[in-house]
Amino acid sequence: VLWDRAYPGNIKDRAPEEWRRVPWTQMRYYNYRFGAKEDGEVWLSVIPIRTRVPGAPPTAIERDDAVLQNVNRWYNQFRMPEITELGELQQESMLKVTGYVVEAEGTYHAGMGSEPREDSKMLAVAIPYSTIIVTVKMVGSPAEVEAQRDNFLGYCQSLAFFNQAPAKEEDRDPKPEKE
């Protein structure tokens, strides 16, 4: 099956048996559904960290700013106030670096033409690694997200690189193949 290829090619995952893998998209390298109606979603994305000096590794400030931008975008999807410090978030070891755990509950405004989803919960992580941020996001009903909390955190902590290099440039924006 052509859609079952994993991107980026150097991150491997181990999803819980309760999650059903679905085709990846341009921004969702790993994509799953869960829950009684399979309307809960989990996806992994990789985002390059933009730097002021092209080609230079990001500074600690640039890395933290990139994580904060993602976290605050997620909070905005739930119409929550932005944060200014990463220290306000729960921190967990993931990919051998510090990952930041983000939670929100309420009406989810995914954007891009999607209708708002009332009574939703998000559990997400942002993991800054070298020149990229690996993000994993779970959205569904509060009860189903809470029931999957341990699976979600275990999944995030199980992520590993096939090698120590961050995602290759050509893997950051892959073109989906047709089925």
CA 31/CA 139 separation, integer angstroms: 12
Nearest to 75 by CA among 114, 40, 27, 124: 124
pLDDT at 168: 43
Token pair 């994305």 is found at 45
Predicted TM-score (pTM) of this structure:
0.85
With 90 as the cut, is the pLDDT of residue 152 above it? yes
The pair of three-digit structure tokens given for residue 4, joined into one six-digit string: 């079952």
pLDDT digits (tens, 9 = 90+) for 56-103: 899 999 999 999 999 999 999 999 999 999 999 999 999 999 999 999
Please compute the mean of the pLDDT values over residues 122-147 and round it to a whole number: 96
What strands lie across the sheet with 117-129, from one edge to the other?
20-21, 30-34, 40-48, 132-140, 117-129, 97-108, 90-94
Burial (Cβ within 10 Å: 0-12, 13-18, ≥19) of residue 101 = middle
CA 116 to centroid of chain Cα atoms:
20
CA distances from 94 to 33, 102, 119, 140 (A): 22, 14, 29, 23
